A = this chain, B = another copy of it.
Amino acid sequence: MALSQQNLESLELTTLNDGFALSWQNRLILRHTAQTPCLWVGAGEADIDMFRGNFSIKDKLDEKIALIEAAVIPQDAGWNVRFTRGDTVNATLHIGIDAEGRLELKLKNDSASHNRIWLRLAAKPEDHIYGCGEQFSYFDLRGKPFPLWTSEQGVGRNKQTYVTWQADCKENAGGDYYWTFFPQPTFVSTQKYYCHVENSCYMNFDFSAPDFHELAIWQDQAVLRFECADNYIQLLEKLTGLLGRQPEMPDWIYDGVTLGVQGGNEVCQQKLDVMRKGGVKVNGIWAQDWSGIRMTSFGKRVMWNWRWNGDLYPELNTRIKQWQAEGVRFLTYINPYVASDRDQCEEASKLGYLTKTHDGKDYHVEFGEFYAGVIDLTNPEAYDWYKELIKRNLIELGFGGWMADFGEYLPTDTVLHNGVSAEVMHNAWPALWAKCNYEALEETGKLGEVLFFMRAGYTGSQKYSTMMWAGDQNVDWSLDDGLASVIPAALSLAMTGHGLHHSDIGGYTTLFDMKRSKELLMRWCEFSAFTPMMRTHEGNRPGDNVQFDNDSDIIAQFARMTTVFTTLKPYIKHAVALNSQSGLPVMRPLFLHYEDDPQTYILKYQYLFGRDLLVAPVHQPGSSEWTLYLPQDNWVNLWTGEPYTGGGEITVAAPIGQPPVFYRATSEWAELFTSLRHI
């Protein structure tokens, strides 16, 4: 194949004294000598505890052996490298080009008992690294290890905060900087290549050494793929060529805010009326309690028996149509578990569709004062049964979309239909769950009309998850778990190939002494007007939080910001279309367009919204002004029209309702942007 041949030529393997070096399009990928080997194999026994989606993961490491000898054997297209340590420990690396012209490294341990691999990729001290899924605390990942395991994100996520400590004491739930719903063994280096590992086992990507990245892989084999490009935009196009891209969103998404409401038809109607009367553009009502509620000490929980509950939502089928005629979709909620004490679980159990314990019984997971069975998505029949449930109980009823929640809780000691260890399937679960939802839309022709949004993800979510949301932020201003954390989350996911991201306006987690303030809700609202979707959430303790309809200031802020959002509709749609076509994300790190500016590589709390809007959300309380960085370009303050020449930090007034946003003076959308000055 011509492509492979050409790419093969850009692949260079140089024999060194005692080793070899592998370069790919002039990037040094591997460097091996007896003194500085690139490969270790070993054995360990994973020690994994889960409590309500919070994981304690340790490795009982039995062996870790440096493979210091490497014999290179040329092949037709590539090389086999035979790594050995003495006469008893071996592994093989196949270096080649895949059918699409990517560099492919295939590793395989020779001993069945060796279930660990550590591979060191060459690095330069000055490299920055991005990606690894949705990372809330760091955007540039250089300098730290990043364990890759889908889980709850943690409450607080910083051992120095009192909130984290309280959550740790209660349920080991405090989390840490790397906890995420959506990890992925994929990163982009500023050497302008990406590296993607195909496995779904537990991995730990350690970017802390100056001259290598160490990838620890808890399996006996691994396949790595690499592509290079001349710039980051091309690189993301290639990455999403590998991983898949999200389809365009339904048109109605751009028409306003989706209001998170619970409590039945009348509450929905009443809140909708209040907001519309206040001038708020509303495109939907998102009611997660459509299937009823269960009371627990944590608060009201949704009844996980996925069927319209006529007590709370009488005549929902007709109400949905009325609302839709007014331009308001009805959105709802589902997850891949069925409450153990309800009939859908009973049915799944009878059909043999739940995952099992080692002694062949149904596995029930504790979710906080109730249990649920896990639909075995590796069983094609179970998968189809659940897909049909989505079609029948959600799509047929006319829902505009839903939150496809969870996916992080696959216990590692459950037994699956496909025979693969749950420890290996754990990370793959969110993407399987996404696929189930996606196919339900695809097979009913509803893609582009109905939208589901997910918090959990993994490789495959790029293709199958139509929208991500940032999960469960605290209702606070903390960098690691508050409003601010949504920005690196969106950007790191963008660098992992998922370009559609939004968050709960006002945050979600309301525990201990945390209560959502009016200021936080208003700042979050204005930030969300510069993301591809606006949606509110009451939080897990609605009564402790300020809500969107609490007073006229807040309603006015929603009126203003939804007007901004809907005014930007053509601009945002255009950016979403580009994401769909070429994987260019909607919320972009600045270096995608200003790659010669070293400053742009370390910005974690500002971004480009499409090509022409630079957004620096206010994420600290009591701020009347805000400092941000403008790269070299001609910028115009979105609210005042004041021109700025970029190339340094500036401080601007940032009253509520006017978050720091700048547009490029030369933008073809300048007229649209100018119109926002008068809102």
Known contacts A159-B168, A165-B165; A63/B86 CB under 8 A: no
| Contact assessment for B86 and A64 in the assembled complex, using a CB-CB cutoff below 8 Å | no
Q: Chain B's nearest CB lies how many Å from the CB of A43?
A: 8
A165 to B165, alpha carbons, bound, how many Å?
Answer: 7
A62 within 8 A of B: yes
Q: Closest residue to A165 on the B side, CB-wise?
A: B165
A66 to B86, alpha carbons, bound, how many Å?
Answer: 13
Instruction: Note all chain B residues with C-beta closer than 8 A to A87.
Output: 86-87
Q: Which residues of chain A in 160-204 are interfacial with respect to chain B, using CB atoms and an 8 Å cutoff?
A: 160, 162, 165, 168-169
Q: Chain B's nearest CB lies how many Å from the CB of A215?
A: 16
Q: Closest residue to A84 on the B side, CB-wise?
A: B86
Instruction: Note all chain B residues with C-beta closer than 8 A to A159.
Output: 168-169
A40 to B63, alpha carbons, bound, how many Å?
Answer: 8
A424 within 8 A of B: no
Q: Chain B's nearest CB lies how many Å from the CB of A217?
A: 16
A89 within 8 A of B: yes
Q: Closest residue to A86 on the B side, CB-wise?
A: B86
The 0/1 profile, CB within 8 Å of B marked 1, for residues 61-82 of chain A is 1111110000000000000000
Question: Interface residues of A, CB < 8 Å — how many?
Answer: 19
* Set B63, B86, B160, B165: member contacting A88, Cβ < 8 A: B86
Q: Chain B's nearest CB lies how many Å from the CB of A161?
A: 9
Instruction: Note all chain B residues with C-beta closer than 8 A to A162.
Output: 165
| Contact assessment for B61 and A64 in the assembled complex, using a CB-CB cutoff below 8 Å | yes
Q: Chain B's nearest CB lies how many Å from the CB of A484?
A: 20
Instruction: Note all chain B residues with C-beta closer than 8 A to A518.
Output: none
Count of this chain's copies in the oligomeric assembly: 2
The 0/1 profile, CB within 8 Å of B marked 1, for residues 82-94 of chain A is 0001111100000
A42 within 8 A of B: yes
Q: Chain B's nearest CB lies how many Å from the CB of A538?
A: 30
A165 to B164, alpha carbons, bound, how many Å?
Answer: 10
Q: Chain B's nearest CB lies how many Å from the CB of A177?
A: 16
The 0/1 profile, CB within 8 Å of B marked 1, for residues 576-589 of chain A is 00000000000000
* Set B63, B88, B169: member contacting A64, Cβ < 8 A: B63
Q: Chain B's nearest CB lies how many Å from the CB of A227?
A: 31
Q: Chain B's nearest CB lies how many Å from the CB of A60?
A: 9
Instruction: Note all chain B residues with C-beta closer than 8 A to A86.
Output: 85-89
Q: Which residues of chain A in 441-478 are interfacial with respect to chain B, using CB atoms and an 8 Å cutoff?
A: none
A509 to B63, alpha carbons, bound, how many Å?
Answer: 42
A594 to B52, alpha carbons, bound, how many Å?
Answer: 45
Q: Closest residue to A68 on the B side, CB-wise?
A: B88
**Which of A42, A63, A160 has the largest number of chain B CB atoms within 10 A?**
A63
Instruction: Note all chain B residues with C-beta closer than 8 A to A88.
Output: 85-86
Q: Closest residue to A69 on the B side, CB-wise?
A: B88
A65 to B86, alpha carbons, bound, how many Å?
Answer: 12
Instruction: Note all chain B residues with C-beta closer than 8 A to A63.
Output: 40, 64-66
Q: Chain B's nearest CB lies how many Å from the CB of A142?
A: 17
A555 to B66, alpha carbons, bound, how many Å?
Answer: 67
Q: Which residues of chain A in 127-170 are interfacial with respect to chain B, using CB atoms and an 8 Å cutoff?
A: 159-160, 162, 165, 168-169
A87 to B88, alpha carbons, bound, how many Å?
Answer: 8
A65 to B67, alpha carbons, bound, how many Å?
Answer: 11
A62 to B88, alpha carbons, bound, how many Å?
Answer: 19
| Contact assessment for B42 and A64 in the assembled complex, using a CB-CB cutoff below 8 Å | yes
A63 to B160, alpha carbons, bound, how many Å?
Answer: 33
* Set B61, B85, B169: member contacting A160, Cβ < 8 A: B169
Q: Chain B's nearest CB lies how many Å from the CB of A144?
A: 13
Instruction: Note all chain B residues with C-beta closer than 8 A to A89.
Output: 85-86
Q: Chain B's nearest CB lies how many Å from the CB of A110?
A: 13
Q: Chain B's nearest CB lies how many Å from the CB of A122?
A: 18
A159 to B174, alpha carbons, bound, how many Å?
Answer: 12
Q: Chain B's nearest CB lies how many Å from the CB of A409?
A: 25
Instruction: Note all chain B residues with C-beta closer than 8 A to A61.
Output: 61, 64
Q: Closest residue to A35 on the B side, CB-wise?
A: B113
Instruction: Note all chain B residues with C-beta closer than 8 A to A64.
Output: 42, 61-65
A87 to B165, alpha carbons, bound, how many Å?
Answer: 50
Q: Closest residue to A88 on the B side, CB-wise?
A: B86
Instruction: Note all chain B residues with C-beta closer than 8 A to A165.
Output: 162, 165
Q: Which residues of chain A in 85-106 are interfacial with respect to chain B, using CB atoms and an 8 Å cutoff?
A: 85-89
Q: Closest residue to A90 on the B side, CB-wise?
A: B86
A22 to B66, alpha carbons, bound, how many Å?
Answer: 31
Instruction: Note all chain B residues with C-beta closer than 8 A to A169.
Output: 159-160
Instruction: Note all chain B residues with C-beta closer than 8 A to A168.
Output: 159
**Which of A40, A86, A87, A159 has the largest number of chain B CB atoms within 10 A?**
A86
Instruction: Note all chain B residues with C-beta closer than 8 A to A62.
Output: 64, 66
A63 to B67, alpha carbons, bound, how many Å?
Answer: 10
A86 to B62, alpha carbons, bound, how many Å?
Answer: 17
A160 to B88, alpha carbons, bound, how many Å?
Answer: 46
A358 to B495, alpha carbons, bound, how many Å?
Answer: 43
Q: Chain B's nearest CB lies how many Å from the CB of A87?
A: 5
**Which of A64, A160, A169 has the largest number of chain B CB atoms within 10 A?**
A64
Q: Chain B's nearest CB lies how many Å from the CB of A126?
A: 22
Q: Closest residue to A164 on the B side, CB-wise?
A: B165
A61 to B118, alpha carbons, bound, how many Å?
Answer: 12
Instruction: Note all chain B residues with C-beta closer than 8 A to A65.
Output: 63-65
A165 to B160, alpha carbons, bound, how many Å?
Answer: 8
A66 to B89, alpha carbons, bound, how many Å?
Answer: 11
Q: Chain B's nearest CB lies how many Å from the CB of A242?
A: 33
A159 to B172, alpha carbons, bound, how many Å?
Answer: 11
The 0/1 profile, CB within 8 Å of B marked 1, for residues 34-72 of chain A is 000000101000000000000000000111111000000
Q: Closest residue to A169 on the B side, CB-wise?
A: B160
16 example contacts (A-B, Cβ-Cβ < 8 A) are as follows A42-B64, A61-B61, A62-B64, A62-B66, A63-B65, A63-B66, A64-B64, A65-B65, A85-B86, A85-B88, A86-B86, A86-B87, A87-B87, A159-B168, A159-B169, A165-B165
8 pairs of A and B residues whose beta carbons are closest in the complex: A86-B86, A86-B88, A165-B165, A86-B87, A64-B64, A87-B87, A160-B169, A65-B65
6 extra interface residue pairs, beta carbon distance < 8 Å, beyond A62-B64, A85-B88, A86-B86:
A42-B64, A63-B65, A63-B66, A85-B89, A86-B89, A160-B169
